[in-house]
Structure 1
Amino acid sequence: MSSAPEIEQSDILIRMGSILNSEMEPMKKRFRALFTLRNLGGHAAIDAICESFTSSSALLKHELAYCLGQMGDRYAKPVLEQVLKDENQEPIVRHEAEALGAIADPSAISVLSQYKNSAIKEIAQTCELALQRIEWINSSPDVCLSNGDRTIEPVPPHPEHLRQLLSIENLEMILLDCTAKLWDRYQALFTLKHIGLESDGSALLRHEVAFVLGQLANPVAMDVLQRRLCKMDENCMVRHECAEALGAIGNLECRRILEQFLQDKERVVRESCEFLDSVHKGILYFHIH
């Protein structure tokens, strides 16, 4: 006999799956349902998410694949492989082959190898990174995948002993070098993400790294920026720059985060969030440092 919590979770799964798969529901509500299913996990949640790959929204399908990768469950692999193979799917959706790299099942190597030379550059590069990640994980059995937040990243940051040898300037130079290998550029990005905002020694350094992450406007930095913005004892200069960086990323989740700080006790943080909120409602935004 099922327990009350199990029955309640089953009801939530059914309800969230129904919302996610309804074209009649507003997109923001469908995204909330998706994130709820991602957090619940399990095969039933994955099945509900996979049903929505028939949606007409490329953005939603992109997020579906991303969430499946973040769940890290091999059960989703066959559907993700089909999405990659489906040439009727938009490139922004197929590029989420990144999710196969996040799951890191070696049996995905065959299909990823097939598409690493795709004529669509974003798909080819994503498959290349996913293949390298699978190789990295399987050649390093003692590797630690924890990165201080809940995000599975497509490329690992440099290990601790190397981070101490790299300056922010070094990492930024590698990141912006168009001739460098894509893996190396990504590794610089994620190293920057991890060392800078977690540095206890200098608020100025943390502020500068938040600014660089904002200039890149890459969603991969969302979790660490949110965590630092939420840290109420952090220097207000750092928190303000984290808010600015989230505003530069500018997706729906960032907007939701910023709305939580419209009444912040620190005026500089509050006013940053007020300004960014007005921007996201239709006013042109210029990132100011």
Structure 2
Amino acid sequence: MEPGTVTEAELQKVGKILLNSNASLAERFRALFTLMSINGPDAVNIICETFKDPSELLKHELAFCLGQMQDLTALPKLGEVLEDTNEAIIVRHEAGEAIGALGQMDSLPLLNKYLDHESKVLRQTCELAVMRIKHVNSEKSGPDSPFTSVDPAPAFNQNKTCKELADILLDSERTLFDRYRAMFSLRNLSTPESIDALVKGLDCDDSALFRHEVAYVLGQMADTHAVEGLSQKLRDMSDDPMVRHEAAEALGAVDDPRCKEILAKHLTDTDLMVKQSCEIALDMNESETEHQFQYADTLQKIRNS
């Protein structure tokens, strides 16, 4: 969506919904993704302003969207969030990943400060961000992807078999960057065999960051073949909430009647982030199962009102 097709009044109305802490989280997420599709500095400013909200889930998603929007005006705010020791690790992690997504060499000194951080999630996030920035600035490019996301690591250029990619994905002795590259290569293959390999990745590693990214990738694929693996991960109360929350959101992206039932069972989950993720995922799932034109529909609703 081009910024020029949206009036300033419409943009502010969408922003008002995002900033409204009394609105449902589902409404605010739809507004957020509407702003992401509108893009431009004004949309970025509204998203940045929303970081004052107490919801960790929402703030984590704000950072994700800023990385995807590829607007460098977001960098100062993302750096501020990354360095905020009062902020939740999952929010700081997403800010670090977004900085990596923006790909600026000038960001390396900030990211390097966290390569020995006590939080493994934050440490690994910044390590991946550093590797991605160096990679994209080395004039190397990955293969064309059927997905439109800005990924934390590029797929491999070489033609590797599904088994070769699965072996890399599941090998804890390989660098995390290579394992992520295998992950996105398996996503791009989009076969039952590649999904099976990714589902194994949900349990294969002691890195919550790694497992959460596998769940995210399976959500992008939105294939019914992954439903059972994702539902098992959502039910696993022993796993990190950042993994379970991502499994919930991945289930919300799949057009399968089983997902609604699975997610509904966790609307009273003891972890707030998981509970809220299931609320959002059910809203997303409704969009999928009713074949709505798009999830980010706040602007259209405003125009129809």
Is the Cα–Cα contact under 8 Å of residues 113 and 127 in structure 1 kept in the other structure? yes
Aligned position for 1:116: 115
CA separation of 1:211/1:12 partners in 2, compared to 1, >3 Å: closer, same or farther? Answer: farther
Shift of residue 90, structure 1, vs aligned partner: 0.3
Cα deviation, residue 148, structure 1: 2.2
In the other structure, the counterpart of 1:232 is: none
- 1:218 matched to which residue of 2? 215
Q: What is the TM-score when the length of structure 1 is the normalising length?
A: 0.76
For residues 143 and 15 of structure 2, the distance between their equivalents in structure 1, rounded to whole angstroms, comes to 30
CA distance in 2 between partners of 1:218 and 1:275 (Å): 17
CA distance in 2, matches of 1:99, 1:69: 4
- Given residue 132 of structure 2, which amino acid in structure 1 is its aligned partner? R
* 3-state SS of 1:115 partner: coil
**C-alpha contact (below 8 Å) 2:143/2:155 kept by paired residues:** no
Question: Does the aligned pair in 2 maintain the 1:83–1:93 contact within 8 Å?
Answer: yes
Equivalent of residue 251 in structure 1, options 248, 253, 256 = 248
What's the secondary structure of 1:185's corresponding residue?
Answer: helix
For the 8 Å contact 1:98–1:154, the answer to whether it is kept is: yes
Structure 2 vs 1, CA of residues 37 and 139 (structure 1 numbering), >3 Å: closer, same or farther? same
CA-to-aligned-CA distance 1:111-165 (integer Å, 9 cap, x gap): 001112111111111111111111111111x635742221000001110xx22xx
The Cα of 1:246 is off from its aligned counterpart by 6.7
Give aligned pairs, total.
Answer: 239
Q: Which amino acid aligns with 1:277?
A: K
The Cα of 1:11 is off from its aligned counterpart by: 2.4
Amino acid at match of 1:77: L
Q: Which runs of 5+ in 2 are unaligned?
A: 203-213, 234-245, 268-305
The worse-fitting range, judged by mean Cα deviation, of 184-193 and 41-50 is 184-193
Contact 1:214 1:244 in 2 (8 A): no
Task: Please point out which of 172, 186, 192 is paired with 2:166.
Answer: 172
Unaligned runs of 5+ in 1: 198-205, 230-239, 262-272, 285-289
Q: Map Cα deviations across residues 7-66 of structure 1 (whole Å, 9 max, x no partner).
A: 843223111111111110111111000000001000000001011111111111111001
Which structure exhibits the higher relative contact order, with contacts defined as CA atoms closer than 8 Å and separated by 6 or more residues? 2
The SS at the match of 2:113 is helix
Q: Share of identical aligned residues, percent? A: 35
Residue number in structure 1 paired with 2:262 = 279
1:31 aligns with 2:14: no
Larger Rg: 1
Name the TM-score, length of structure 2 as normaliser: 0.72
Looking at structure 2, the residues matched to 283 and 112 of structure 1 have their Cα atoms a distance apart, in angstroms, of: 35
Q: 2:182 aligns with which of 188, 197, 206?
A: 188
State how far apart, in whole Å, the 2-side matches of 1:47 and 1:73 are: 11
Alpha-carbon offset, residue 243 of structure 1: 5.5
> Shift of residue 99 of structure 1?
0.5
